[in-house]
Amino acid sequence: MNRSKLKILVAEDEQIIAIDIKNTLRNLGYEVIKIVNNGPDAINAAGDLKPDLILMDIMLNGPLNGIEAANTINSKYSIPVVYLTALSDNETLNKAKITEPFGYILKPFDERMLSSAVEMAVYKHKIDSELKKKTIELEEEKILTDRLLHNILPSEIVHEWKNFGFISPRHYSQISILFTDFCDFADISSKLPPDVLIEELNDIFQGFDVIIDSYKLEKLKTIGAAYMIGSGLPKEDEDHAVKITCAAIDLNNYLNERNSASKIKWNMRAGINSGQVIAGIVGTNKFTYDVWGDAVNIASRIESSSLPGRINISGATYNLIQKYFDCEYRGRLNAKGKGEIDMYFVNGIKEQHSGILGTYKYF
């Protein structure tokens, strides 16, 4: 900083020394904006005048000594403080170090000592300020990176990746997969401007996300208008099938409620299957958390075999939820590439269990 622009506040209770400091600083080309003789005045002047540097007598008279005044200033403002002291004993200097001063000037001082202390303090403060700024920027980048990771990957997977640098594929013996899709999507989307279509899907999927999060399920991916959800992974959960079925009912209810107030009507098909899968990370630059296995393929076929506004489930899922849900057997229906599979429509929750399922969300 140019000396002529450097504004210095002097806190010194001995008038002769204060005037000597002021004259010496002016001879060196600095501007002394004020001289105060006690701690409270030093604190007030620091806030009002915002000096570039404060020369603070350690042993100020009054209710606050120089160290206490500097400590208060440091807690409020980013202003470097250089101590003035006639005491060089360890006890005094150790107390002063608590406030992290930017230097000391021992009395009596000479012009060269004063100039060096001022220049070094201003330089150190500039470097410190730049480092703090960089630290804040790095912390903000870290927060943004963590947020993006948590949007892409489950929390448990993020923790493993950050601690070990890789994700081990994992086998799950029993989880549930839910697929949803919109009926006549191609026909509806062809009639909508692109921005309206994106706005519609974004609004719907945001609503879906809230419901999925409330059940602590895992949103795996969206593929066009299809929405894929996992339950029982990456953290295993014995209630995976019950929770994902409740979520499917909520998704359907949410969409029906939205349709009642929207010009564009969306009808959803839903399909659920339960079974074993392998889960892990694919890709390196744009990685995603994904699941593989016959259970996933069957869940997709179950969804394709559903009807508008209905939740279709496989026999495997039915065996896990039949105690709690009223289900309608549809028979053994052909699932493309999988042969005939027992399928059921979920009509709702059995009345005698509505209180128990209420712990999950709406019921």
pLDDT class for 282, splitting at 50, 70, 90? low
DSSP 215-231: TT-EEEEEETTEEEEEE
Topology classification of domain 3-133: Rossmann fold (3.40.50)
Reported as a pLDDT band with limits 50, 70 and 90, residue 362 is very low
Q: How far is CA 345 from CA 8, 307, 325, in A?
A: 80, 9, 10
* Residue 164 pLDDT: 64
Where residue 360 falls among pLDDT bands split at 50, 70, 90?
A: very low
Residue ranges per domain, the chain?
3-133, 158-357
The pLDDT tens digits for 322-352 are 999 999 999 998 888 788 899 999 999 887 7
pLDDT of 270? 95
Distance CA 114, CA 174 (A): 75
Amino acid at 8: I
pLDDT of 98 strictly over 50: no
Q: Say which CATH superfamily domain 158-357 falls into.
A: Nucleotide cyclase, GGDEF domain (3.30.70.1230)
Reported pTM: 0.61
Neighbours of 349 (CB within 10 A): 21
Residue 93 in this model has a pLDDT that exceeds 80:
no
Query: What gap in Å lies between CA 326 and CA 361, rounded to an integer?
Result: 18
pLDDT at position 87 = 63
